[in-house]
């Protein structure tokens, strides 16, 4: 199932119980990459060497002949539970984006199930944690702009007990979505 990354990652994240927060973008890259199921999904997404085994080639042909959507180029099947999770994610992203806009900042949401996410995560991992693994933060911000953006987006993270009122636009979105108990 080397081309079924969207389905694998969606299932992986749901199975692992991973709660993705923009406020911990770098933590997501580290946490996601340390989860065995996500590692398997990322590994299967890497380009294959040109010296594949004959068994792999036969298996690929058999899968295509069988009409397997994970190898035939068709979109993988998304379960109702995965679709509900994706819909909730997009709703929360819209709330964060609107809140950030009210604060005077641009917010570029991302879809954690997309190939672009996997590629950004892979690049981040290969750069020893340099840069941003995900795209919500607009590129080209100065250090001061970046700090202000991060404060508006994630609030003050002082390690104390979680309070959505101190968690910036992300905390506001979590609260609006009714997920305060998740934090």
Where are the alpha helices (H) located in the chain, listed in sequence order? Answer: 5-16, 25-34, 36-45, 54-65, 80-102, 115-126, 143-154, 168-176
- Average pLDDT over all residues of the chain: 67
Number of Cα atoms under 13 Å in the Cβ half of residue 172? 17
Sorting pLDDT into bands at 50, 70 and 90, what band is 125?
Answer: confident
Sorting pLDDT into bands at 50, 70 and 90, what band is 135?
Answer: low
pTM equals 0.55
Minimum mean pLDDT among 16-30, 60-74, 135-149, 160-174: which range?
16-30
CB 10 within 8 A of CB 85: yes
Domain boundaries, the chain: 5-182
> In 3D, which of 174, 41, 183, 49 has the Cα closest to residue 112?
41
Q: What pLDDT, on a 0 to 100 scale, did the predictor assign at position 69?
A: 44
CB 44 within 8 A of CB 6: no
Choose between 127 and 53: higher pLDDT. 127
Residues 158-183 have pLDDT tens digits of 777 888 999 999 999 999 999 888 76
């Amino acid at each position: 199932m080397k081309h079924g990354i969207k389905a694998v990652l969606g299932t992986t994240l749901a199975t692992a119980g991973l709660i993705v927060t923009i406020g911990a973008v770098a933590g997501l890259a580290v946490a996601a990459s340390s989860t065995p199921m996500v590692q398997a999904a990322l590994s299967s997404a890497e380009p294959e060497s040109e010296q594949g085994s004959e068994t792999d080639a036969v298996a690929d042909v058999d899968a295509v002949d069988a009409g397997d959507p994970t190898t035939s180029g068709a979109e993988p099947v998304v379960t109702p539970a995965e679709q509900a999770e994706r819909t909730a994610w997009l709703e929360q992203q819209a709330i964060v984006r609107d809140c950030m806009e009210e604060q005077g900042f641009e917010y570029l949401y991302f879809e954690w199930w997309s190939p672009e996410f996997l590629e950004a995560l892979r690049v981040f991992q290969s750069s020893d944690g340099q840069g941003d693994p995900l795209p919500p933060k607009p590129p080209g911000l100065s250090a001061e702009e970046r700090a202000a953006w991060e404060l508006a987006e994630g609030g003050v993270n002082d390690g104390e007990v979680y309070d959505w009122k101190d968690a910036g636009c992300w905390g506001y979105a979590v609260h609006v979505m009714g997920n305060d108990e998740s934090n």
